[in-house]
């Protein structure tokens, strides 16, 4: 997926979009079809083979007919396949169909074999689809995907759930998606990024009063630019906070050290790593870190404590989680600390009772344990899952994965649009934990530090990939260094 935005962009779910459409007045389909046609034209793929428009049986098909009509006025050879019944179209979609026919356009019922096109416009299904495609519609999706031409999807690629990013059956593989009014969560998370290609947001001149203030937004670069004030010349390490990282059981010390190095390189004044398996004299790769035993670490006055990287699930680890939950400092809970909490009602209750800020950083399997459900249920609706964890545990939460979802206890949520598949490697979550801790230690509120760190974490990996160091083979240590560079040039 490619989506670039330096500011927060509203995201709306299916029901919200339908409510907006109901208030937006007539002409919305005409605006949507024109916007899509303009994008198709601007893609500049005119090689003399024409454009194939595939229109479905609902209002997405109506958008497609409007787009086809405008494209026909601008260039030759626009062909339309209609997979519906004109008599069953809504009034607005029927009007679009009639306008296409009245302007000399014809329709086919199937995609002809052996033909070439410069572009395919997918107008089969939009946000209304909530089932797996089958029969002739599944066959049309397969045929579209077999065409050797870029695809522009209207609103969402057909077959993709607009709210969740699930693909219950097949879906159109688009290189571009023209989405209308506001972004949809399904474009940005789970399977959405693999199907939608580059997203083009078409607001359609909807009045801001109609749009309102959706709870969901993307996370833009502004969260990085505004997260920390400019440092004063007359300052010292004590001005930038003390971070403690608690973890590092036998064979897993590297996880705690990665988190600690991330906290140090993102600006924390002092960073302590408390290791369960005993602390070596120093970290040879990062001698600036101060290593302690786990018990010693819990006695220190800290501006932020993170527990979990490499922690394990031993009885000692259980006791340390219980002690960490009693701290008055902001607390980040990651990895095995999440698993221990999920398995013990006493610890779950302690999380809910905390008065200091709490941040939870589960991946889907950890999220499932926290909610007592399956990983498949978590992935079936990532936004709802993140919001449920945040509300149940009264904690700022990030559900990690493709399109990480940050959710707050008040119900607000944001989806991250940075990052790439190179981040599917060991230690990435540990690095993120350290980044969050560093920002909180430097006086950023948890509600701001979490999305900022998530965005920065992914943006750093994108910088590495853009410079030839990925996506294959990106390491967490490289991401930490790249994140520092980006934070300093925000």
DSSP string, 178-226: EEESSB-HHHHSTTHHHHH-EEEEE-TT--HHHH---SEEEE-THHHHT
Q: Where are the domains of the chain?
A: 10-214, 222-488
Indicate the SS3 state at residue 47: coil
Domain 222-488 fold is 3.40.1190
In terms of residues, how long is the chain?
A: 490
Output the CA–CA distances (angstroms, integers) from residue 223 to 106, 401, 428, in the order listed: 50, 20, 20
Residue range 310-352, pLDDT digits in tens: 999 999 999 999 999 999 999 999 999 999 999 999 999 999 9
pTM of the model: 0.94
Position 25 scores a pLDDT of 66
- Supply the DSSP symbol for 460: H
3-class secondary-structure state, position 110: coil
On the question of pLDDT at 1 being above 50, the answer is no
Q: What fold does the segment set 10-214 form as a domain?
A: Rossmann fold (3.40.50)
Q: Over the chain, what is the mean pLDDT?
A: 94
- 227: tokens are 């997260």
- The per-residue pLDDT for 3 is 47
Q: Where are the beta strands (DSSP E) in 111-202?
A: 119-123, 151-154, 176-180, 198-202
Instruction: Tell me the two tokens of residue 206.
Output: 């909807």
Q: How far apart are CA 446 and CA 357, in angstroms?
A: 6
At 238 the pLDDT is 95
Distances (CA, A) of 52 to 38, 143, 183, 483: 15, 12, 25, 43
Angle at 184 between CA 183 and CA 188, to 5 degrees: 90
Task: Give 432-468 pLDDT, tens digit per residue.
Answer: 999 999 999 999 999 999 999 999 999 999 999 999 9
Give the separation between CA 134 and CA 168, rounded to whole angstroms: 11
Confidence of residue 265 (pLDDT cuts 50, 70, 90): very high
């Amino acid at each position: 997926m490619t989506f670039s935005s330096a500011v927060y962009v509203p995201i709306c779910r299916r029901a919200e979009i339908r409510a907006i459409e109901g208030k937006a007045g007539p002409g919305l389909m005409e605006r949507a079809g024109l916007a899509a046609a303009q994008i198709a034209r601007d893609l500049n793929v005119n090689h003399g083979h024409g454009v194939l428009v595939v229109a479905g049986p609902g209002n997405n098909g109506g958008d497609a007919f409007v787009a086809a009509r405008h494209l026909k006025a601008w260039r030759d050879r626009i062909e339309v396949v209609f997979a519906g019944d004109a008599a069953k179209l809504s009034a607005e979609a029927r009007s679009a169909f009639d306008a296409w026919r009245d302007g000399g356009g014809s329709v086919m019922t199937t995609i002809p074999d052996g033909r070439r096109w410069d572009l395919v416009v997918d107008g089969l299904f939009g946000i209304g689809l909530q089932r797996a495609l089958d029969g002739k519609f599944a066959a049309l999706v397969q045929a579209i995907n077999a065409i050797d031409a870029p695809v522009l999807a209207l609103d969402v690629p057909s077959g993709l759930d607009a709210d969740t990013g699930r693909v219950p059956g097949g879906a159109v593989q688009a290189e571009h998606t023209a989405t209308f009014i506001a972004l949809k969560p399904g474009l940005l998370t789970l399977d959405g990024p693999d199907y939608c290609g580059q997203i083009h947001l078409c607001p359609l001149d909807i009045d801001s009063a109609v749009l309102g203030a959706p709870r969901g937004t993307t996370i833009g670069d502004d969260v990085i630019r505004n997260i920390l004030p400019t440092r004063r010349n007359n300052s010292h390490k004590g001005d930038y906070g003390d971070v403690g990282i608690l973890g590092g059981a036998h064979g897993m010390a590297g996880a705690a050290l990665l988190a600690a190095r991330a906290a140090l390189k993102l600006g924390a004044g002092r960073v302590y790593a408390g290791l369960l398996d005993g602390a070596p004299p120093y970290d040879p790769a990062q001698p600036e870190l101060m290593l302690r035993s786990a018990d010693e670490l819990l006695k220190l006055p800290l501006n932020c404590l993170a527990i979990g990287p490499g922690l394990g699930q031993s009885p000692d680890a259980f006791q340390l989680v219980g002690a960490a939950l009693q701290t008055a400092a902001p607390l980040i809970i990651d990895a095995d600390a999440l698993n221990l909490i999920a398995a013990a009602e006493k610890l779950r209750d302690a999380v809910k009772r905390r008065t200091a800020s709490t941040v939870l950083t589960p991946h889907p399997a950890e999220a499932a344990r926290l909610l007592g459900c399956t990983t498949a249920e978590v992935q079936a609706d990532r936004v709802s899952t993140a919001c449920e964890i945040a509300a149940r545990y009264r904690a700022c939460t990030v559900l990690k994965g493709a399109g990480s979802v940050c959710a707050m206890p008040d119900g607000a949520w944001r989806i991250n649009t940075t990052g790439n598949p190179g981040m599917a490697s060991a230690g990435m979550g540990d690095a993120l934990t350290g980044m969050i801790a560093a920002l909180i230690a430097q006086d950023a509120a948890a509600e701001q530090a979490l999305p900022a760190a998530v965005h920065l974490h992914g943006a750093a990996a994108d910088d590495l990939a853009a410079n030839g160091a990925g996506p294959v083979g990106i390491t967490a240590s490289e991401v930490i260094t790249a994140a520092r560079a980006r934070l300093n040039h925000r």
